[in-house]
Amino acid sequence: MTPAETRAAALPQSADVADSSSEVVTLGEGARSQVPTAETTAPVTDAPTTDAPVTDAPVTDAPTTTAPVTDVPPATDAARPAGAVADPATKTDLRPADAAGAAPAGRRRFRWTRRRQDLAVFGGFLLTAIWVTSQIWVNPAGRVASLYSSDPAQVQFFLAHSVRVVLHGEFPFFTEQFNYPDGVNLMANTAILALGIPMVPVTLLFGPAVTFVLLVTLGLAGTASAWYFVLSRHVVSNPLAAIVGGWFCGFSPAMLSHASWHPNIISQFLLPFIVWRVMVITRSTRPYRDGALLALLVTAQAFINEEILLFTAMGCGIFLIAVVVQRPALWSAAWRPLAKALATCTVIAGTLLAYPLYIQFAGPMAYHGLSDAVRDYGNDIAAYFAPGSPTIGGNQRANVNLAPNYSEENAFFGWSLALIAVGIVLWLRREVLVRALAATAAFYTVLSLGERISWWDRELIVGPWEWLVRLPLLDAVVPTRFGMITSVVVAILLALAIERTRTLSLDRRTVRTLTVAGLVLALLPIAPMPLPMTSRPPVPKFITSDRWRAYVGPEQTLVPIPVPSMGNTHGMRWAASTNLDFKIPGGYFLAPRNGNTGDPGRFNGRPSGIGRLLEDVATTGRTPELDDRQRRRSLDELRSWRAAVLVLPLRQPHSEPLRQTVEQLVGPARLELDVWVWDVRSLTDPRT
């Protein structure tokens, strides 16, 4: 049974409270049920009344009875004050209007309408997201997360690629602007085209660094707002329940963990609508139309992040199976519209995504599966009981070894929320909906533990991921991220628990006190804090002033020193700042190990001798003595890259050892603005 059944079964269908604008599709009998709201005002009677909201009764396996509802007759014209106007839609009285048709100014009251409530909630989520990203908003181009600064540089490169797609008609799914001459398969690297292309005006006006932080801010706020919207319309009627559910979906420790690095992962604002449409098609009377709508959502999400889309599809399947196992009779009513809608979705989405997926899995620089290091990324069991690092109660040192790294803290609920979530399941265990959610959360929690299940970094047993990791599609996901779906389930459980407090046989004040106390205990330790940032080197003036254009031709490359790689991505930021007007060798991306389609993926492209040499110098600060063989091999690589100029910033760490090493390879450098420059066209161009 779905949340809609829970509400529809408990709420009276009186004309005084029915709101036909709220449509909820269920797995139960009947195509659609209209969910009433408590926004209308009941007629005044002599009987005592209370302000308590409409009660939602829990769904249980035991048969239930519903007390008859006594309809109070509406006020008659005789009882209506003089000048009052009857409102036939709500059967309530509207106050007399003045001669101009408006209420007297002194008696006008502010009405807290649904739209105003939504705008207030959306604004609150946006302010929270700005608070979380405040330290990077101070200087988007000059600040970055203190750890793992490579990921933002990669995302900014992809955002600049979207500019070239729009302005120059460049092929969207593959590029040679980095890792020249092999190029990079962008479909296999999450190029976020669905985010980057709409943001092209922002990128052109303010640069990819500003677009990056804007996407992070909107990703957090948008995800929270989308879940609030769907929960408030289709799952719960209590506004606080929907707000808390949306809040945790948007600002959970897992979302905060990814916010510094991965806007593609935290941009989950389409997921609640995908989940909602999947629930709709189980009882759809127009399955082909609903399947087409679902296909459009799926296609858009595929160009944001395919991994999260896969997790969502799996989660919907696990949830529906858990419901049908408990209520097998529901399957007979659901399977026909479900089959028709899913077939329609598969045909339309498959047609739209066929060519991009072909490029991803069979195109140039395609790969299958991830490296062993990433494949084994899993959560420690204790990660579910510790607060996340970027929260008010978080501690980075205490979280060491509980997650693969600080950008992958995909659990971290804290002890209080973890125990409260278990308590909610035990309290509402008789509800089909809650049991199905609990099964879904348990499934994803176990998968998130990875191939080796551990407790406080002590290995216990082999996990089921050991046998699933080699399956198609699953071999390309990071298992720790399954914990993000657990966070969504916990958010829904929190919303349902707040909604069900109405059924407690306690007075309103006691219920409110207990609810507020529980929320403070659960959410305060993991309340979001501003993401920690540190400064990073600016893009050299040699790049920003376009001085490089005097050296680099259309089919030549600019070689940053050190050569761009997973640990040295400043050159990627240089290229992104020019909207990729010049090519660079190397970079940070996923590619096959040996340059052959079908090899397991690895970070960076083919090994480079000169790249490794300069990376060692940049790390150690020691200048090696090079022989003639090393010089010849380095020149051969520069020729294969069609290098025009080598550029070393003066502010680069260990810049002097790097300069001395490069001079052994290609001769003396020339100082130009804020960089050392080596014009190597005479060495690499075969025509000279």
Structure confidence by residue, pLDDT tens digits, 442-482: 999 999 999 999 999 899 999 999 999 888 889 889 999 99
Residues found in the chain = 688
pLDDT at position 229 is 98
Name the band, by pLDDT with cuts 50, 70 and 90, for residue 546: very high
Could you read off the pLDDT of 616-636 as tens digits, one per residue?
999 999 999 999 999 999 999
Whether pLDDT at 428 is above 50: yes
53 pLDDT band, cuts 50/70/90, is very low
The pLDDT, as a whole number, for residue 16 is 37
Q: What is d(CA 372, CA 426) in angstroms, rounded to the nearest whole number?
A: 38
Q: Where are the domains of the chain?
A: 269-364, 541-683
Start-to-end Cα distance in the chain = 75
pLDDT of residue 303: 97
* 3-state DSSP of 200-261: HHHHHHHCHHHHHHHHHHHHHHHHHHHHHHHHHHHCCCCHHHHHHHHHHHHHCHHHHHHHCC
Q: Are the beta carbons of 599 and 365 closer than 8 angstroms?
A: no
Contact 384, 455 (CB under 8 A): no
Question: What is the pLDDT at residue 84?
Answer: 39
Nearest to 614 by CA among 604, 626, 628, 603: 626
Indicate the pLDDT class of residue 210, thresholds 50, 70 and 90: very high
Residue range 170-193: average pLDDT? 94
CB neighbour burial string for 363-388, b if at least 16 within 10 angstroms, e if fewer: bbbbbbbbeeebbbbbbbbbbbbbbb
Which tens digits make up the pLDDT trace of 274-315? 999 999 999 999 999 999 999 999 999 999 999 999 999 999
From residue 457, how far is each of 182, 380, 393, 400 by CA, in Å? Answer: 40, 7, 21, 9
Q: What is the pLDDT of residues 351-386, one digit of tens each?
A: 999 999 999 999 999 988 887 768 779 999 999 999
Give the pLDDT band (50/70/90) at residue 242.
Answer: very high
Coil, strand or helix at 96: coil
Q: What is the mean pLDDT of the chain?
A: 85
Mean pLDDT of 62-75: 40
Provide the pLDDT confidence category of residue 175 given band limits of 50, 70 and 90.
Answer: very high
Does residue 43 carry a pLDDT above 60? Answer: no
Least confident of 99-108, 112-121, 275-284, 329-338: 99-108
Mean pLDDT of 539-550: 96
Residue with the bigger pLDDT between 49 and 588: it is 588
Q: What was the pLDDT predicted at 80?
A: 39
Element (H, E) at 458: strand 458-462
Most confidently modeled of 20-24, 28-32, 104-108?
104-108
pLDDT band at 110 (very low <50, low <70, confident <90, very high): confident
SS3 for 15?
coil
Nearest to 452 by CA among 469, 475, 439, 473: 469
Percent share of the chain, pLDDT over 70: 83
Look at residue 12 and tell me whether its pLDDT is greater than 90: no
Beta-carbon count within 10 A of 248 CB: 26
Distance CA 227, CA 440 (A): 18
Q: Is residue 668's pLDDT more than 50? A: yes
Name, of 34-43, 219-228, 533-542, 596-605, the range with top average pLDDT.
219-228
Higher pLDDT, 217 or 14: 217
Confidence of residue 596 (pLDDT cuts 50, 70, 90): low
pLDDT band at 62 (very low <50, low <70, confident <90, very high): very low
Per-residue pLDDT reduced to its tens digit, 372-422: 768 779 999 999 999 999 999 988 888 888 988 888 999 999 999 999 999
Q: Give pLDDT, residue 27.
A: 42
Question: What pLDDT is attached to residue 370?
Answer: 82
